[in-house]
């Protein structure tokens, strides 16, 4: 687990001049900024674990901004992305926002616009970072469950009674009751409702009664 340092702003733009000027601007606002002239260069980096955001040019030779967003979006702790483009059009910005971009700035933009976006993105990053920590915590707790308990969990969060679960799994109702108690204890929750919220966070699907 890494310590939470000052946020870092990554500027990815094939235009060296744009990169340089944005670095300056960010620096004037007290941000640490790092520039990359292509997506490929950025990906070569050791994955960044801290808070921060990416200012990403949409159109670049090679891997473009949108493609890079797709790649980065697959990890839970990805940095928020602020798209900048010299050729802003609405369909593209909509698509970008859907994919989780925090902002879409058409070039040229005022420093205030950029900084507002950066502040927002860094905040988001921080939250992501925090929830990410929470999730890690949860996962560690889930890891403590036995395979049998792991098997029972979906039935519990689906709201089935012990009897029903026992029938479904063809084991004794009493055993189910023990499992339920252990699960509640291991995961540190006091109610089923709490358990359901936690499972949801951990992406554990409840048992589908229709199946």
Partner 1 sequence: MYRKAFLEILTDLSRRFINMPPEHVDSEIDDAISAVCRRFGLDMGVAWQWSKEMPRYLTITHLYRPPGGSPLPEKIDAEELFPWCMKEVKAGRTIAISVDKAPAEADRDRETWAHYGVRSTAVFPLSPGRGQLIGALSFATIKTFSWSKDIVKELQLVAEIFANALARKYSDQALRESEERLSLASTAAGIGLWILDIKTNQYWATAQALQLFELPPDYKLDLNTFINMVHPEDREKIKEAMRTASQSNDDTRVTYRVVLADGTIRWLVSRGRMQPGTAGDTDKLMGVSLDVTERMEAEVAAKKIQTTVTAILESTQDLIWTVDPERFGLITFNTALAEYFRQGTGLVITEGMSPHDMIGGSFTAATAEKWDRLYERALRHGPYTEEYVVSTGTRVLLLSLNLLKRDGEVFGISVFGKDVTERKRMEKKIEAAALEWQTTFDSIPDMVMILDAERRVIQANRAAWNFLNVPLEETLGRHCHTLMHGEDHPPADCPLARIHEVKNREERDIYDSRTEKWLHVSVDPIFDEKGESVRFVHMARDITASKKAEKDALESRRELLRMQRLFRMGELTASLAHELNQPLTSILSNARAALRFIDSGELDMNELKDILNDIANDDRRAGNIIRSLRAMVKPEDSEKIVISLSDVLHEAVSLFHGEAIIRNIDVDTFFVDPLPGVNIDVVQIQQVLTNLMMNAAESMLAEVQRKIVIRAHIVEGGKVRVTVSDCGPGIADEDLGRIFEPFFTTKRSGLGMGLSLSRSIIEAHGGHMRVENNPDRGATFSFELPLEERNDDRR
**Chain residues in the site for partner 1 (CB under 8 A):** 14-15, 17-18, 20-22, 24-25, 27-29, 59-62, 64, 84-87, 106-111, 114
Smallest distance from the beta carbon of 28 to partner 1, in angstroms?
Answer: 4
Name which of 14 and 151 has its Cβ closer to partner 1: 14
Provide the sign of the torsion angle of the four alpha carbons 149, 153, 159, 160, taken in this order: negative
Using the minimum distance from each CB to partner 1, give the nearer residue, 43 or 135.
43
Residue closer to partner 1 by CB (options 81, 152) is: 81
CB-based burial label for 150 (10 Å; 0-12, 13-18, 19+):
middle
The strand ranges marked E within the chain are 8-12, 32-36, 52-57, 81-85, 103-106
DSSP string of 64-102, one letter each residue: -HHHHHHHHHTSTTPPPEEEEESS--HHHHHHHHHTT-S
For the bound state, the minimum distance from the C-beta of residue 25 to partner 1, rounded and expressed in Å, comes to 4
Of 64 and 206, CB closest to partner 1: 64
| Chain length of the chain | 211
Q: How far is the CB of 86 from partner 1 (least distance, A)?
A: 4
Using alpha carbons, list the distances in angstroms from residue 108 to 27, 42, 73, 87, 113: 18, 23, 26, 10, 10
CB of 100 to partner 1, least distance (A): 21
* Cα–chain center distance at 145: 25
Cβ distance to partner 1 smaller for residue 57 or 149: 57
CB of 108 to partner 1, least distance (A): 4
């Amino acid at each position: 687990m890494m310590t939470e340092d000052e946020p870092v702003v990554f500027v990815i733009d094939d235009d060296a001049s744009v990169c340089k000027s944005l670095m300056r601007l960010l620096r004037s606002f007290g941000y640490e900024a790092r520039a990359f002239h292509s997506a490929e260069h950025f990906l070569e980096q050791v994955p960044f674990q801290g808070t921060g955001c990416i200012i990403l040019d949409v159109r670049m030779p090679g891997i473009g901004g949108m493609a890079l967003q797709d790649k980065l979006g697959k990890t839970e702790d990805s940095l928020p992305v602020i798209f900048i483009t010299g050729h802003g059009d609405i369909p593209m910005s909509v698509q970008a926002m859907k994919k989780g971009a925090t902002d879409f700035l058409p070039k040229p933009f005022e420093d205030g616009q950029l900084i507002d976006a950066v502040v927002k993105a860094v905040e988001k990053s921080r939250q992501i970072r925090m929830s990410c920590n929470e999730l890690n915590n949860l996962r560690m707790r889930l890891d403590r469950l036995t395979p049998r308990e792991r098997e029972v969990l979906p039935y519990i969060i689906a709201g089935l009674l012990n009897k029903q679960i026992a029938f479904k799994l063809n084991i004794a109702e009493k055993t189910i009751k023990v499992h339920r108690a252990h699960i509640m204890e291991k995961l540190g929750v006091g109610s089923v409702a709490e358990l359901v919220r936690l499972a949801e966070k951990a992406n554990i699907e409840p048992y589908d009664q229709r199946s």
